[in-house]
Chain A
């Protein structure tokens, strides 16, 4: 496996290898921390949830507008996020930034497989009717739409069935 600078990154840990399958986030840290170190992720999640509501990203109507090309709003949100993200990642690489615990930041490259097309189309169909990607699902529940619990459990079931059928699906 190679990282973005084409340097070999050893994957010795078979558990890590498993988590890398169709995943976008794997824990690189080898530090052992008590559970409450995770509260900082919860805190940023709170900020993120606020953004979802205040910028109306969890609105079913905004998603309709986007797919109908009748408003710039969602394209503006995603476009700005990508620009800020690209600049941030470039700066992190340029300055070889380290985490607050001193570890080197590592970002695994994404490898292409046909699942990104088949799965992507499948997700798109669901996105347009539920008005939610996975993040907004959590935010819609938090915002008091109890009935979204059903959408959420169906999404967990969808993920589970993918896991069950994974070996039989084209990739």
Chain B
């Protein structure tokens, strides 16, 4: 059993468990699935600064912070007890492209050429972590949700605004990947 769990899980297993999160949270206590809201609750709890958008009782949404704490713990436990020693089966075309751009270490979940402490005070670090993180936090809240809140929860409830948001996520990602990232990787 443990040996099976240690293998990479196929997309339909991962997808089904993520989809099941929608009814699980609804039936546990009427919670609608969404992760980016946790960032807002952290702002409301730590630095509300009198901003109306953060002036609400974040304790009423504390379940969301418990959920994301669980995600962190779950990932920790998995890499320590259920990890698979082999690198991911990346598509050859993606691997070839990234190698041509100087990203050769594909053994970990994140490329060590970008996501390492040595990069923190470089232009690359500034763009990939600081600007990247900022765009994620700003964009998800502006859009009213992220991949979980719109692409999974919203589409599950057949909400067309969530479809608009999901298409926008994809368009933004495609623009970055094809038009901007090639320049960023030369930095």
Interface residues of A in 125-171 (CB under 8 A from B): 125-135, 137-148, 150-164, 166, 169
| A122–B135 touching, CB < 8 Å | yes
| A15–B56 touching, CB < 8 Å | yes
| B169–A124 touching, CB < 8 Å | yes
| B144–A61 touching, CB < 8 Å | no
B126 to chain A, nearest CB (A): 10
A78-B15, A85-B156 known; A48+B74 contact, CB < 8 A: yes
B16 within 8 A of A: yes
CB < 8 Å A-B pair total = 562
Residues of chain B whose beta carbon lies under 8 Å from any beta carbon of chain A: 5, 8-40, 42-43, 47, 49, 51-57, 60-64, 66-79, 82-84, 88, 90-91, 93-94, 97-98, 106, 109-111, 114-117, 119-120, 125, 127-162, 164-178, 180-181, 184
Given A23-B144, A57-B14, A78-B15, 13 other A-B residues pairs in contact with their CB atoms under 8 A:
A51-B17, A56-B14, A59-B88, A67-B178, A81-B15, A81-B16, A85-B153, A97-B26, A122-B139, A124-B173, A124-B176, A127-B172, A134-B146
Q: Which 8 A-B pairs have the closest CB atoms?
A: A124-B172, A45-B70, A49-B74, A55-B14, A120-B168, A80-B15, A84-B19, A119-B142
B residues near A129, Cβ cutoff 8 Å: 127-128, 131-132, 135, 176, 181, 184
B residues near A38, Cβ cutoff 8 Å: 62-63, 66
| B139–A135 touching, CB < 8 Å | no
Question: Which residue among B63, B128, B138 has the maximum number of chain A CB atoms within 10 Å of its CB?
Answer: B138
A100-B27, A116-B144, A123-B169 known; A44+B70 contact, CB < 8 A: yes
Nearest to B180 among chain A residues (CB) is A125
Q: How large, as a class, is the contact surface on chain A?
A: 35 or more
A2 within 8 A of B: no
Q: Would you give the 0/1 interface string for A74-104, flagging 1 where the beta carbon is closer than 8 Å to chain B? A: 1011111111111011011000010111010
Interface residues of A in 17-58 (CB under 8 A from B): 18-19, 21-29, 35, 37-58
Which residue of B29, B30, B119, B141 is within 8 Å of A119 (Cβ)? B141
B2 to chain A, nearest CB (A): 12
A115-B144, A162-B137 known; A100+B28 contact, CB < 8 A: yes
| A19–B8 touching, CB < 8 Å | no
| B12–A80 touching, CB < 8 Å | yes
| A154–B162 touching, CB < 8 Å | no
Assembled-state Cα–Cα distance A142/B68 (Å):
10
| A88–B14 touching, CB < 8 Å | no
| A125–B135 touching, CB < 8 Å | yes
Assembled-state Cα–Cα distance A38/B143 (Å):
27
